[in-house]
């Protein structure tokens, strides 16, 4: 039987030895290297190709969280188990957000650590196997840490529906760290769509300090279906607390933390939307096959062109089925842009999903509309 290869990282020799003794009780596990700081951990991963890293949260210099983030990003098949004296939910949440697969509170029992190692090793082995290239995050090439805004110049075309389901799809299909920022700061719908009742929103975050750090941002995130959500203010009048500078800073942080950050926007371009569009790698322009929507999007395209953002825009056709009259080809011709992905109509499923606060990609992953969302995700990855 092949042993599970482990790296043990703890700067305190005594506590390293304690863990070592526990691990040695199980001969299906093998500590192949030890490390006393984050840099050593990374070096040893390169040298030893371990399946599991057991790491104390309080490493000197680059701490356990930062090291975990790096491992998650660059070596996704290596599973991290964090060990800490700290049993606060916040600390556990931060470690999980950084990509740790298990969090054990000291003192750890032999049973507990053996079970954790076995479980996370098995999880890691199920990820795509193979060569060092596969040890990169699946979608890293050309698309790492992307910001994707969902935009449209007409209300009700389906921006928020697409944004929510796209984020959940990215989290599930790519096992990526996904953020969702609701920048429809007056009338944000994301919380309702994801059954969230947030106390902390962009408005409260904006009141804290102008330049938040990762730790602070993380306190404002709510998790639903694998997606970390930064909610829009709870009341329209609080929207004015959120300035373009806040948005810029928040998105810069999100880019650091998440593989994909999806940004829902309102139907008009104000200062905050503009900053979001400028911060985005891709702008998904959502259209429907209705004359007013197409007329409006033409204006939107002109605005993006004048801001020199048009090369980031990708056309997404929503409710592509069930409309007679205007053909997608006509739209492409009029707008001078190719439609990159289509999401069919499914009124019943969408309404059901919104009313229950469960994304339809989760309720009915095989439904044509869910496959449509997958095609949007593919378009995102094609860049």
Q: Which is nearer to Mg ion, 69 or 159 (CB)?
A: 159
What number of chain residues touch Mg ion (CB under 5 A)? 3
Using CA atoms, how far apart are residues 171 and 85, in angstroms rounded to an integer?
30
**How far is CA 324 from each of CA 152, 315, 320, 347, 371, rounded to the nearest angstrom?**
21, 20, 10, 16, 22
Q: Which does 319 bind (CB under 5 to 8 A by kind): ligand ATP, Mg ion, none?
A: ligand ATP
Closest distance to ligand ATP from the beta carbon of 349 (Å): 8
Which region holds residue 49: left if phi is over 0, alpha if psi is between -120 and 50, else beta? left
Q: Which is nearer to ligand ATP, 282 or 284 (CB)?
A: 284
Binding residues (CB under 6 A) for ligand ATP: these are 152, 155-161, 184, 189, 267, 318-319, 343, 345-347, 350-351, 354, 369
Q: Which is nearer to ligand ATP, 86 or 352 (CB)?
A: 352
Q: Which is nearer to ligand ATP, 144 or 323 (CB)?
A: 323
In contact, 266 and 302? CB cutoff 8 Å: no
Phi, psi angle pair for 280, to nearest 5°: -90, 145
Q: Which is nearer to Mg ion, 66 or 189 (CB)?
A: 189
Closest distance to Mg ion from the beta carbon of 300 (Å): 15
Beta-bridge partner residues of 35? 9
Closest distance to Mg ion from the beta carbon of 156 (Å): 8
Closest distance to ligand ATP from the beta carbon of 320 (Å): 8
- x/- track of binding to Mg ion for residues 157-196 (CB under 5 A): --xx----------------------------x-------
Q: Which does 351 bind (CB under 5 to 8 A by kind): ligand ATP, Mg ion, none?
A: ligand ATP
3-class secondary-structure state, position 304: helix
Lookup result for tokens 């089925």: 321
Q: Which residue is nearest to Mg ion (CB)?
A: 160
Instruction: Determine how β-strand 79-84 pairs with β-strand 52-56.
Output: parallel
Closest distance to ligand ATP from the beta carbon of 316 (Å): 11
Residue 308 DSSP symbol: T
Sequence length of the chain is: 383
Q: Which does 231 bind (CB under 5 to 8 A by kind): Mg ion, ligand ATP, none?
A: none
Contacts of 324 (CB under 8 A, 6+ apart): none
- x/- track of binding to Mg ion for residues 299-328 (CB under 5 A): ------------------------------
Host H or E run for residue 345: none
In contact, 370 and 356? CB cutoff 8 Å: no
Closest distance to Mg ion from the beta carbon of 160 (Å): 3
DSSP string, 261-282: EEEE--SS--HHHHHHHHH-SE
Mark 146-176 as b/e (b = at least 16 C-beta within 10 Å).
bbbbbbbbbeebbbbbbbbbbbbbbbbbbbb
Q: Which is nearer to ligand ATP, 184 or 259 (CB)?
A: 184
Q: Which does 55 bind (CB under 5 to 8 A by kind): Mg ion, ligand ATP, none?
A: none
Q: Which is nearer to Mg ion, 77 or 159 (CB)?
A: 159
Q: Which does 254 bind (CB under 5 to 8 A by kind): ligand ATP, Mg ion, none?
A: none
Using CA atoms, how far apart are residues 8 and 117, in angstroms rounded to an integer?
12
Tokens matching residue 64: 């356990």
Using CA atoms, how far apart are residues 205 and 209, in angstroms rounded to an integer?
7
Q: Which does 373 bind (CB under 5 to 8 A by kind): Mg ion, ligand ATP, none?
A: none
Q: Which is nearer to ligand ATP, 56 or 346 (CB)?
A: 346
- The residues of the shown chain that bind Mg ion, judged by CB under 5 A, are 159-160, 189
């Amino acid at each position: 039987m092949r042993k599970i290869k482990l790296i043990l990282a703890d700067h305190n020799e005594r506590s390293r030895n304690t863990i070592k003794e526990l691990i040695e009780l199980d001969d299906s596990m093998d500590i192949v290297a030890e490390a006393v700081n984050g840099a050593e951990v990374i070096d040893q991963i390169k040298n030893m190709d371990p399946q599991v890293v057991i790491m104390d949260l309080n490493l000197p210099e680059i701490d356990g969280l930062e090291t975990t983030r790096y491992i998650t990003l660059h070596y996704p098949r290596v599973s991290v188990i964090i060990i800490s004296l700290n049993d606060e939910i916040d600390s556990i949440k931060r470690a999980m957000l950084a990509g740790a697969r298990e969090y054990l509170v000291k003192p750890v029992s032999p049973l507990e650590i053996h079970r954790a190692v076995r479980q996370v090793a098995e999880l890691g082995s199920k990820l795509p196997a193979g060569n060092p290239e596969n040890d990169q995050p699946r979608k890293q090439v050309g698309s790492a840490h992307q910001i994707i805004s969902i935009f449209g110049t007409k209300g009700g075309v389906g921006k928020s529906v697409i944004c929510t389901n796209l984020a959940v799809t990215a989290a599930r299909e790519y096992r990526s760290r996904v953020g969702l920022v609701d920048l429809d700061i007056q009338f944000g719908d994301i919380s309702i769509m994801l059954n969230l009742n947030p106390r902390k929103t962009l408005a409260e975050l904006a009141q804290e300090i102008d330049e938040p750090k990762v730790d602070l941002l993380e306190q404002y995130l709510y998790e639903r279906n694998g997606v970390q959500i930064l909610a829009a203010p709870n009341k329209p009048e609080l929207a004015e607390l959120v300035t373009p500078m806040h948005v810029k800073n928040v998105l810069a942080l999100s880019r650091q933390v998440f593989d994909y950050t999806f940004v829902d926007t309102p139907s008009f371009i104000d200062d905050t939307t503009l900053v979001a569009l400028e911060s985005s790698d891709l702008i998904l322009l959502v259209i429907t096959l209705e004359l007013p929507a197409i007329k409006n999007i033409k204006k939107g395209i002109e605005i993006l062109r004048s801001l020199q953002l048009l090369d980031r825009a990708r056309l997404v056709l929503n409710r592509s089925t069930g409309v007679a009259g205007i053909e997608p080809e006509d739209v492409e011709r009029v707008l001078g842009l190719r439609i990159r992905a289509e999401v069919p109509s499914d009124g019943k499923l969408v309404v059901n999903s919104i009313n229950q606060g469960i994304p339809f990609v989760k309720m009915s992953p095989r439904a044509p509309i869910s496959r449509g969302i997958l095609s949007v995700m593919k378009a995102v990855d094609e860049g």
